[in-house]
Amino acid sequence: MIEVDVGLDLKSFKLDVAFGDGEGITALFGPSGCGKSLTLGVIAGLRRPDRGYVRLDGRPLVDVEQGVFEPPHRRRIGVVFQDANLFPHLSVRQNLLYGRWFAPKGAERLGFDAAVETLGITKLLDRQPARLSGGERQRVGIGRALLSCPKLLLFDEPLAALDMSRKLEIMPLIERIRDEFHIPMVYVSHAVEEVVRLASRVVVLQNGKVKKIGTPNEAFGADAALEDDRFERASALKAVVGREDPVYGLTELKHPPGSIWVAGAVRPAGRAVNISVRASDVILAVEQPKGLSPRNTLAGAVLTIEADGGPTVTISHRARRRRAACRDGDAQGGRRTRSEVRESWSSP
């Protein structure tokens, strides 16, 4: 449990943030320069705040008024940066063991083999960091942080420098760490899809201040304040991994109003996942579309149309719950799905 209430005055920039974490991952989200990394730096002990405190499980890591400042290496916090910052002269194995060196004696130790296995880096142990790809370096960086037996993990845009394929490989690892190791995490990102997929709470920062704290839907969905950048709007959906279609390389994500098929493999079946649907990726049609490439079609109703005098409007739309999908959570035969969708579209 982390509690943060700090201020920092850098003359050209003032930081003033307060939040606590709950279950799972807390995301710090906001545009470049809004104070995300400064906030992580204060939590990690890399920066001293001018006022306030950071508490971890009730223990003050820094408390300006009480004159408390725990040095970074004593905080039991693992940090993963955008660049994994591995020691170039040490092998992967030595880098990983270096993290473990910080685990206090008697601390419940995470097994080296278990961490290496989870992160898929068994074959890399004797390599030097210079001979790793960006994605591999990041896996090792995460492993090093994990093996220090942290009470809190901090991620500062860990995927920002990776291409989409590598991102899609690393995100499930972060989900596994979240679900299997139960270590609280604060995850900094300005990518909506990462935040929706990983986080249960979002702290939205703007100009060094907390603008909003809420679920991903509250932060990015239809209820997000109108002055928000509309291109950031997205819906956070909860789904369950379903079947795979090996012919087209798709995976079904079961969601009550209808299954959503995504490219690639998502495993294992039955696992709960969060997905983001960007508003700018949605196409509206008044009838079942024909001759178009979108593979996912959901029936629904327009709720609101927000116009601000500009050339575009923001439309909120609610997908209808399909009876067939709700009964057993599985997508029934395609014919039934199609007829229900048609029925919904033609209803007033």
Three-state secondary structure readout of 132-168 = CCHHHHHHHHHHHHHHCCCCEEEEECCCCCCCHHHHH
Question: Which strands sit side by side in the sheet containing 209-214, from one edge to the other?
Answer: 68-69, 59-63, 51-56, 2-9, 14-20, 209-214, 199-206, 25-29, 185-189, 152-156, 77-80
Residue with Cβ nearer ligand ADP (36 or 178): 36
Q: Binder to Mg ion among 8, 28, 29, 37 (CB under 5 A)?
A: 37
**Residue 33 in the binding site for ligand ADP (CB under 6 A):** yes
Residue with Cβ nearer ligand ADP (30 or 141): 30
Do residues 274 and 197 touch, judged by C-beta distance below 8 A?
yes
How many residues bind to Mg ion according to rule CB under 5 A? 1
**Residue 39 in the binding site for Mg ion (CB under 5 A):** no
Do residues 19 and 203 touch, judged by C-beta distance below 8 A?
yes
**Residue 46 in the binding site for ligand ADP (CB under 6 A):** no
* Cα 316 from Cα 329, distance rounded (Å): 25
Residue with Cβ nearer ligand ADP (37 or 91): 37
Q: Binder to ligand ADP among 9, 13, 131, 308 (CB under 6 A)?
A: 13
CB of 167 to Mg ion, least distance (A): 17
Contacted by 33, from Mg ion, ligand ADP, none: CB < 5 to 8 Å by type: ligand ADP
* Cα 59 from Cα 62, distance rounded (Å): 9
**Residue 10 in the binding site for ligand ADP (CB under 6 A):** yes
Sign (positive or negative) of CA dihedral 43, 48, 51, 55: positive
Q: Binder to ligand ADP among 12, 66, 293, 347 (CB under 6 A)?
A: 12
How many residues bind to ligand ADP according to rule CB under 6 A? 11
Contact set with ligand ADP (CB under 6 A): 10, 12-13, 30, 32-38
